[in-house]
Chain A
Amino acid sequence: MSILILAEHDNKSLKPATLNTVTAATQIGADVHLLVVGFECQTVVEQASQVAGVSKVLVADNAVYEHQLAENVSKLVVDIASGYGHILAPATTTGKNTLPRVAALLNVAQLSDVIKVESADTFVRPIYAGNAIATVKTTDAVKVLTVRSTGFDAAASTGGNAEREVLSQVIASDRSRFVKEQLAESDRPELTAANVIISGGRGMGNGENFKLLEGVADKLGAAIGASRAAVDAGFVPNDLQVGQTGKTVAPDLYIAVGISGAIQHLAGMKDSKVIVAINKDEDAPIFQVADYGLVADLFDAVPELEKSL
């Protein structure tokens, strides 16, 4: 049985989370197909066909799919689902939005945020904000999973040569329409794909002070993140949020500045290779997970750190 992956893209480029999902799929079995649903997404199709390990790229390119609304994308996936033993998507907001709808239409369960493949029917996923790890087995005919990208290495983005198949189905969605989008602009690496992340918490005091982190981020080529406390206080937009209800990251180096280390935040970053904490409260729980802790006022330490890098 083949494996179908719903590709994550913005009609312009294939998102890195797709590559991690391809790796998860190749651990389940061979014959991995990528489904690209979008509008005027030719470059995405090009990129998808070159991903190592992908044998076929299915393309649904139509104006009705421009914003990848869950209502029609899920019906399209179900329409082509026969012949697939597994249907996967990255556990991004798009994957999380669409895939449970696919599972329900197929009358099967879904396993969310899979971090490890044990076998073709047994998978590992975190529960209770990452405070417990569950191994689950499913006997559903079609296994529907979302994949946590930090659990798997990225597949090579070149070297593949997948065949292409154009899908003719056009499924309009008459009760849901796109109105607008406000995307945050950033020159920095994407949070979930960055090798280094520097995050600020409530200790930053205000949004203006987040500029302090930019100097360090520039020197390290790092992405900037934030705790929920910083987002809720309105310091920074919510797409920077790292945690159970934000993004899950696992960079080589995670620098937590003025973050206390609530479990909701730790759930999103505790798989980082090296964790550094800078906090003036020496009893902050972040120090229990930090490899290197510095008890200091961040307003002194961060500029000094920038200078010494």
Chain B
Amino acid sequence: MKILVSVKRVIDYNVKVRVKADHTAVDLTNVKMSMNPFCEIAVEEAIRLKEKGIASDVVVVSVGSKSCQETLRTALALGADRAIQVETEDGLDSLSVAKLIAKVAQEEAADLVIMGKQSIDSDNNQTGQMLAALLDYPQATFASEVVIENGEAHVTREIDGGLQTLAITLPAVITTDLRLNEPRFASLPNIMKAKKKPLDVKTPADLGVEVGSNVSIVSVTPPPQRAGGIKVGSVAELVDKLKNEAKVVS
């Protein structure tokens, strides 16, 4: 079975985000970038399926500018076999990314696509669902457990009230939640080996996909700042403030 995993290069989750002074976007110059945490979990899951003998081949794909090759190399160092970069500008919308990955999934004849449930920059939580729709594959989003047997994936999903288990027929799309697994670290020998693994570059034209969006950004602003609060000295003072000043406790 072949698994396709998509990965995205995003601002590192520890970085404090700064909005540009002209309010056009978030400032990404000289900011530390990393693999999106949900994508790391997707890569880890695919590698575990390979280690269990369920998957034979793990292909990683990333859509974006040349710098996302670094993210692909990270995935190769973690254990993926092969990488594909779809060369585009950065920041494409979810539908365009889904269309590009759909073509790659078809060309690769992937039996399963695993991707993160959302990227921590645009926070859209859309691409996996859109990909499944475009391919007319079943989907299991927000997965916290994946068991594959007899051409079906039994996926436990994190839903608002608790957990839900679905059985979906392969080929299918799964998106990962944080609790699916604990991603491993790449060892130095594996990082060296990853440099020799194949990395193909394709363009949207190669894939026959036209990218573009009808959505434009009007402005990006910092969120309203909360006024600094006060420290109280005791529980009694806290309760008094809540009752008489904030009036949120009666």
Contact = CB atoms under 8 A, between A and B. Distances in A.
Given A137-B218, A176-B166, A181-B163, A294 B238 contact: yes
Contacts of A120: none
Nearest to A174: B169
Contacts of B230: 291-293
B202 interface: no
B239 interface: yes
A127 B163 contact: no
A189 B102 CA distance: 42
Contact of A292 (B11, B215, B238): B238
B228 interface: yes
B159 to A, nearest CB: 5
A122 B133 CA distance: 26
B124 interface: yes
Output the residue of B154, B169, B220, B229 with the most chain A CB within 10 A.
Answer: B229
A96 B216 CA distance: 21
A108 B223 contact: no
B165 A308 contact: no
A239 B164 CA distance: 12
A140 B215 contact: yes
Interface in A130-165: 130-140
B181 interface: no
B215 A109 contact: yes
Chain A interface size range: 35 or more
Given A232-B179, A294-B235, A181 B164 contact: yes
Interface in B102-127: 118, 120-127
B165 A101 contact: no
Interface in A69-90: 69-71, 74
Output the residue of B123, B134, B139 with the most chain A CB within 10 A.
Answer: B123
Interface in A84-141: 92-94, 96-105, 107-113, 122, 126-140
Nearest to B230: A292
Contacts of A122: 218
Interface stretch (A35-43, A54-62, A273-281): A273-281
Contacts of A291: 226-227, 229-230, 246
A30 interface: no
Contact of B235 (A107, A173, A305): A305
A139 B214 contact: yes
B208 interface: no
Contacts, number: 249
A225 to B, nearest CB: 13
B157 to A, nearest CB: 8
A108 B95 contact: yes
A103 B127 CA distance: 11
A104 B154 CA distance: 25
A153 B221 CA distance: 23
Output the residue of A132, A264, A270 with the most chain B CB within 10 A.
Answer: A132
Contact of A178 (B129, B161, B166): B166
Output the residue of B133, B141, B226 with the most chain A CB within 10 A.
Answer: B133
A119 to B, nearest CB: 11
Contacts of B214: 108-109, 138-140
A267 B177 CA distance: 17
A220 interface: yes
A50 B230 CA distance: 44
A133 B223 contact: yes
B231 A293 contact: yes
Contacts of B19: 132
Interface string B41-82: 000000000000000000000000000000000000000000
Nearest to A96: B125
B235 A304 contact: yes
Interface string B4-26: 00000001010011010000001
Closest 4 CB pairs of A and B: A100-B129, A104-B130, A104-B133, A100-B126
Interface of B: 11, 13, 16-17, 19, 26, 93-95, 98, 118, 120-134, 137-142, 144, 154, 157-169, 172, 177-179, 213-223, 226-232, 234-236, 238-239, 241-242, 246, 248-249
16 contacts: A69-B166, A100-B125, A110-B124, A110-B126, A122-B218, A126-B123, A132-B222, A136-B217, A182-B164, A183-B162, A253-B242, A270-B226, A276-B238, A291-B226, A293-B230, A305-B239
